[in-house]
Amino acid sequence: MKKISELNFDLKQLRSFLAIIKEESFTRASRKLKLGQSTISHQVGSLEDLLGVKLIERTSKEFSITKEGLIFKEFCEKLFDDIEKLKDDFSSAEPSVVTRISASTIPSTYILPAIVAGIKKKRPNYYYDIATDNSREVIEMVKDGAAEIGIAGKMIKHPSLEYSHVFSDEIVLIGSDKSPAQLNISEIIKYPFITREAGSGTRTAYEKMLLNFDIKPSHLNVVFNCSSSESVKESVIAGLGVAFISKLAIENELKLKKMKIVKVKGFKLIRNFYAVRQKKKRLSSAAGFIIDELFNRDLKKT
């Protein structure tokens, strides 16, 4: 074993080592970390060379951790616990901060509340002011500096802005209990249709998709225009017609059987959501936490 003064650990190496131990597999650990298997194998090999001991015994059929590996595992876990404690200590010394976030309906209603609740347990001095707007307005608020970050269902390119994909959702067609269980895409124009307001990311997404089937917005039998997902749902429940909506937005209604998903043959629409920020503006730690938690949520879903 080398002298303590010669040990120079890379935290990425330690994370890879712990992931391998937890998953009991280099392959599963590489998928979990979204790294190449050769990369994490090299990281562990470098650790073993640095320490001068064997940490993991691996063959094509067996996987086991050595006695030295168990000792090093405890060291790594304690180190990461200490790092988290250090973060908490630094956080408690920070003044209270308020971060302005602008988000479209889906993230502000169905994603951000749980994320903010989790952050508040770790960082009670962080405060968030969340404004709900359609995707176009979200992007404008960030561009104008009225919000530090935005969560939007589409991208509008601008030289001052940068986007990061944070999660995905499916847009489905819903109807009342009297609606058909399935229909062809061409049959949509026969049914009363409930639409979202101009500027809605959901509306932009499904209108673009329908054009692939030669169905223009003017072909739809629009009977009601709504400014939120909640009003769309209530309109469908009331029997006004069918509508496209985020699957995330209807989980409770489906459980209560207040509505149903109408399957559309050949129609599959996945909508991506993006975090938008100003390129040259450094994010506050509170805003950074939101972005990190959104990424972590998406990793857990996959």
* Domain locations along the chain: 4-90, 97-168+272-301, 169-270
| Residue 297 clears pLDDT 80, i.e. is over it | no
Q: What is the CATH number of domain 97-168+272-301?
A: 3.40.190.10
pLDDT digits (tens, 9 = 90+) for 85-128: 787 666 665 555 678 999 988 899 899 999 999 988 888 888 89
Average pLDDT over residues 227-243: 93
Q: At what angle do helices 37-51 and 26-33 cross, to 10 degrees?
A: 110
The larger pLDDT score, comparing residue 213 to residue 289, is at 213
Tally the residues of the chain. 302
**Rounded Cα distance, 183 and 175, in Å:** 12
The pLDDT of residue 58 is: 77
Contact 101, 130 (CB under 8 A): yes
Please report which confidence band the pLDDT of residue 294 belongs to, taking 50, 70 and 90 as the band edges.
confident
Give pLDDT tens digits for 168-179: 899 999 999 889
pLDDT of residue 206: 93
CATH class of 169-270: alpha beta
Q: Burial of 35 by CB count in 10 Å (0-12 exposed, 13-18 middle, 19+ buried)?
A: middle
Query: Among 41-55, 77-91, 243-257, whose mean pLDDT is lowest?
Result: 77-91
Q: How far apart are the C-alpha atoms of 294 and 289, rounded to whole Å?
A: 9
Of 28, 51, 50, 49, nearest to 40 by C-alpha is 28
Q: Are 22 and 80 in contact (CB under 8 A)?
A: no
According to DSSP, the β-strands at 269-278 and 149-152 are antiparallel
Same CATH fold assignment for domains 97-168+272-301 and 169-270:
yes
Q: Is the pLDDT of residue 280 over 60?
A: yes
Please return the burial class of 253, using the count of CB atoms within 10 Å of its CB with bins 0-12, 13-18 and 19+: middle
Q: First vs last Cα of the chain: how many Å apart?
A: 39
In this predicted structure, the answer to whether residue 159 has a pLDDT above a threshold of 80 is yes
- Region 183-210 average pLDDT: 91
Per-residue pLDDT, 181 = 93
Query: CA Rg, the chain, in Å?
Result: 25
3-state helix, strand, coil in the chain (%, to 5): 50, 25, 25
C-alpha to C-alpha distance for 176 and 194, rounded to whole angstroms: 12
What phi and psi, each to the nearest 5 degrees, are found at residue 9?
Answer: -80, 145
Q: Average pLDDT, stretch 63-88?
A: 86
pLDDT at 302: 44
H-only helix segments in 157-238: 201-211, 229-237
For 168, residues 6+ apart whose C-beta sits below 8 A from its C-beta are 270, 271, 272, 273, 298
Question: If you average pLDDT over every residue of the chain, what do you get?
Answer: 87
CA-wise closest residue to 264 among 204, 156, 180, 144 = 180
Q: Is the pTM of this model over 0.75?
A: no
Decide which of 1.10.10.10, 3.40.50.1370, 3.40.50.1970, 3.30.365.10 is the CATH code for 4-90.
Answer: 1.10.10.10
Rounded CA separation 182/202 (Å): 21
Token pair belonging to 176: 């009342």
Among 256, 226, 227, 255, CA closest to 242: 226
Least confident of 36-40, 171-175, 215-219: 36-40
Nearest to 191 by CA among 219, 153, 169, 152: 219
Residue 6, pLDDT score: 64
pLDDT classification of 38: cutoffs 50, 70, 90: confident
Tens of pLDDT, residue by residue over 134-143, are 888 999 999 9
